[in-house]
Chains A and B, each alone.
Chain A
Amino acid sequence: MNQFEEGVEDVYAAVSAGRAVREHGPFGIQIGDQSMQFVGKVVHDPVVTGSQILAVAGARPASDFLVFQVLRDGALEVVRPEETVDLRSAGAEKFLVFRSDRSFRFLLDERAFDWGAAHISGGTIKRLAGVLSETTDVWLDAAGGEDRVIEDKELVDLAMPGTERFITRQIKITIKVNSRPREVDRRVLTYWEIVKLAEPNAVPSDQIIYSINYAAGPRQNAEGTLVEGQSVVVKEGMKFYVTPTDKS
């Protein structure tokens, strides 16, 4: 991602660092295209319209393009030309500008949807389906190919030949906690959620510290140890070892 000149408030950097976005401009925002290549652009007002974003993106004629705001959960929300976005509010640091000269039809849980852009994110599909993001997966049912899960922030190209077919499914993953199978309904589990799979009545206390080790996890956290406040991405068959017992 681009660095901005001195004096420009980098909205993405501020949000990533968890600090409040400055009150006054100029603001540096990220604008992506169909291929998800983001470039830094500078705007002066803290409140921008869809038209202003199209203008700084160099999208002409503006009527051929759509602006989407990339929300925290990966969902895309259309920003119409006259609509405004406050850059000082969280999650307003990234936009996508898509050429939209036609609409794209896809099937979601056997219902037909028409989408104004060539790409759609997993998060947006979940929103359209009205399902809970944490406990539901979106699968792309590839004709003749292998079905695969679409991540919330992943974009699917709807312009590929054929009609894309998406299916939402409740997440059901069986992990092993101290060798015992435990079924969970989400991909990300916190320290305490895992402790409770081992010891349902466990409550935070100074005297009892549960140590958690894990192995056979997904690549982002294949193995390691987990302490209070941390969470971990789980996968089928992942192994957890939870114990309050100390060694001397």
Chain B
Amino acid sequence: MKQIRFRHQPVDVIPESLEAHVLYVTRDGDVAAHLCACGCGKEVITPLAPTDWTLSFEKRGGATLDPSIGNWAFPCRSHYFIWGGAVVWARGMSEKAIAAGRSRDRARKQKYYEQRKSIDVPRRSSQPDQSSSDSVHRLSIWERLLTWLRSLVT
């Protein structure tokens, strides 16, 4: 297969329809999106979070998404990495391996959120939260990481 490269594009909102070979990244650094590298036209959403994907940039400007992108849910079942803006094709995976990966992922997310709950600051008043009255804003390690990422994107 010929070399496919992704150009990264900072956006406020991921557009409703995407262009091929563009890796859209929100300025908030919370989610990236692209059209499947195989050319099938399917939209691939990769949340950027400690339990999901990490986005980093090479000195020469190409974006790296880690870990790989496993589109087992699409008819194309493509599997690839985006390293320094370039697509690196990976091997297919067995149903068993895919299922194991999914349950590992679920367990990791559950553990992550449980840990965050246990280190949470004491809650504010006992009133139910209504709309946008967020008075306290904690900077988690993740949010600091986001700030750093954002500075790279913009």
Query: Do A and B come together as binding partners?
Result: yes
A207 to chain B: closest CB distance in Å?
6
> Please, how many angstroms separate the alpha-carbon atoms of A181 and B14 in the complex?
10
Beta-carbon contacts of A89-109 to B below 8 Å, as 1s and 0s?
000000000000000000000
> Please, how many angstroms separate the alpha-carbon atoms of A213 and B106 in the complex?
11
**Contact of A179 with B28 at beta-carbon distance under 8 Å, contacts A243-B45, A247-B67, A247-B105 already known:** yes
B41 to chain A: closest CB distance in Å?
14
* Minimal Cβ-Cβ distance residue in A for B104: A247
Contacts of B151 in A (CB 8 A): none
> Please, how many angstroms separate the alpha-carbon atoms of A219 and B98 in the complex?
34
CB proximity to A under 8 Å, residues B16-41? 16, 26, 28, 30-31, 33
Contacts of B132 in A (CB 8 A): 235-237
Interface residues of B, count at CB 8 A: 46
Report if A151 contacts B (CB, 8 A). yes
Contacts beyond the supplied A149-B130, A220-B129, A246-B71: 12 A-B pairs with Cβ under 8 Å: A178-B31, A178-B47, A207-B73, A209-B102, A211-B109, A218-B129, A220-B128, A225-B113, A236-B132, A244-B73, A247-B53, A248-B90
> Please, how many angstroms separate the alpha-carbon atoms of A126 and B75 in the complex?
47
* Minimal Cβ-Cβ distance residue in B for A218: B129
Top 9 closest A-B pairs, CB basis? A241-B47, A218-B129, A244-B73, A246-B70, A243-B45, A219-B129, A208-B73, A248-B68, A225-B109
> Please, how many angstroms separate the alpha-carbon atoms of A42 and B48 in the complex?
56
Residues of A bordering B, CB below 8 Å = 148-149, 151, 178-181, 198, 207-209, 211, 213, 215-216, 218-220, 223-225, 227, 235-237, 239, 241-248
> Please, how many angstroms separate the alpha-carbon atoms of A225 and B107 in the complex?
11
User: Cβ of B14 and Cβ of A180 under 8 Å apart?
Assistant: yes
**Contact of A180 with B46 at beta-carbon distance under 8 Å, contacts A213-B52, A225-B113, A247-B70 already known:** no
* Minimal Cβ-Cβ distance residue in A for B11: A179
> Please, how many angstroms separate the alpha-carbon atoms of A143 and B134 in the complex?
24
User: Cβ of A246 and Cβ of B30 under 8 Å apart?
Assistant: no
User: Cβ of B44 and Cβ of A245 under 8 Å apart?
Assistant: yes
> Please, how many angstroms separate the alpha-carbon atoms of A242 and B47 in the complex?
8
Contacts of B68 in A (CB 8 A): 247-248
Contacts of B134 in A (CB 8 A): 216
User: Cβ of B101 and Cβ of A179 under 8 Å apart?
Assistant: no
User: Cβ of B47 and Cβ of A213 under 8 Å apart?
Assistant: yes
